[in-house]
Structure 1
């Protein structure tokens, strides 16, 4: 557990290290969620040798801020960039995956400068996290408004991406994610039937976590482990 200075005050995070870790994952939660909601997910990743950092966004969990305040993308991005840099400083030897769920997925893409310019022109034009710093990107329950659907979308080249999405997600329907993934070689989409928006807390959560573990070990940690 620890704190750092965010845009709206002191932000709380949890660092779940593991001995002999080959890689790490930095998680940005969705609306109304915080680090305390991800114990089971973190345990599964720790058991596979993946260190985990989870954030309490402003106004959530143990972080300062008004829980009823409307999120501002530029502030979320600034906090995410600080949080990711903190994880890198704590484990400089580990390749890190950036992960976001729902609003966290929007924030992760925006931090890399990969959201549509109309969402926030200033954020899109000034990536807060260089695209070559995360070794991987995991997107969970990604809303359509975060996806740049232009065929010739300009912007930074993304690291390898795993998108996990419920087929029955009514808050963020899957079809825009399918179309976005088809246009990008770096994106692998895994779909879960009879699952909705909150994949890490639904009945399929163990399978979703296992898929994230497998992808992280093969795509992110794999190149590090090879001689």
Structure 2
């Protein structure tokens, strides 16, 4: 695994932790946007693949997540989270000016990345969405209809067919293992609508990766959002039998290979 540095930025709601997996002479920048309840530190293996491909990799912990400030898993406005991710991108650009920037978002991070592309798409060279919360996602509405949000954490078994992934997730003290919070669910609902109305990403190359046995973010609902967001350069790869985290699955090497193949095509002028 590559060495990890940590930076602390002034985020929209207090100190924002940003992980950096450095490269001595990067060809491009990759910004990893993590999902709900987790943190960027879970993406060390993905970062190793990307640094091996020539990227300097950065990943912020969102407000209320990981080592960043804020009440745990409380997000009242995803626009603020997009602004924080943009701050991490500016940190990367300050260290490595003029390099192409690739944005990779997983799950909730896919929603954040989709909105980022709508706001800052001209600054991106490629967009990758993994199991993205986008389109028709029924969970927020279902939970908001209840008088009390049930204390039902995410099942580790829903993440991957690899039991070691679930065990590490369950034991991780930086992962949230409690119930979802009403303001966060309301923010999900608003931002899903905002992204649906926000237009497509035009010529930006977009890679969509999803497991066809994803029970947390079912594939058919995401397809609606991805096809609405995509311009004319969409590549999709659906993994048979895979659950929510394709980069942590038993066949993760296929997901990594698909990612690098896409980047080689999307960034053809890299030396």
Q: Give yes or no for TM over 0.5.
A: yes
Give the structure 1 partner of residue 130 of structure 2. Answer: 140
- For the Cα contact (< 8 Å) 2:203–2:232, is it kept in 1? no
1:9 and 2:14 aligned = yes
Using the alignment, how far apart are the partners of 2:34 and 2:77 within structure 1? 15
Paired residue secondary structure (2:122): coil
Alignment of 1:58-137 (within 5 A): 58-113=63-118, 127=119, 129=120, 131-137=121-127
TM-score, scaled relative to structure 2:
0.69
For structure 1, list consecutive stretches of 5 or more residues without a partner in the other structure. Answer: 114-126
For structure 2, list consecutive stretches of 5 or more residues without a partner in the other structure. Answer: 1-5, 136-191
1:27 and 2:27 aligned = no
Give the structure 1 partner of residue 263 of structure 2. Answer: 216
Using the alignment, how far apart are the partners of 1:30 and 1:55 within structure 2? 11
1:196 and 2:243 aligned = yes
Deviation at 1:218, TM superposition (A): 2.5
Using the alignment, how far apart are the partners of 1:175 and 1:132 within structure 2? 29
- For the Cα contact (< 8 Å) 1:181–1:188, is it kept in 2? no
Q: Compared with structure 1, are the counterparts of its residues 68 and 175 closer, same or farther at alpha carbon in structure 2 (3 Å cutoff)?
A: closer
Aligned residue pairs, count: 207
Q: Compared with structure 1, are the counterparts of its residues 91 and 144 closer, same or farther at alpha carbon in structure 2 (3 Å cutoff)?
A: same
The structure that is helix-richer by fraction is 2
- For the Cα contact (< 8 Å) 2:33–2:110, is it kept in 1? yes
Deviation at 1:104, TM superposition (A): 0.8
- For the Cα contact (< 8 Å) 2:202–2:231, is it kept in 1? no
Deviation at 1:191, TM superposition (A): 0.9
Q: Which whole-Å deviations, capped at 9, do the CAs of 1:42-99 have from their partners, x for residues lacking one?
A: 1121122222111111122221111142452122111112122222222113211011
Q: CA RMSD in A?
A: 2.3
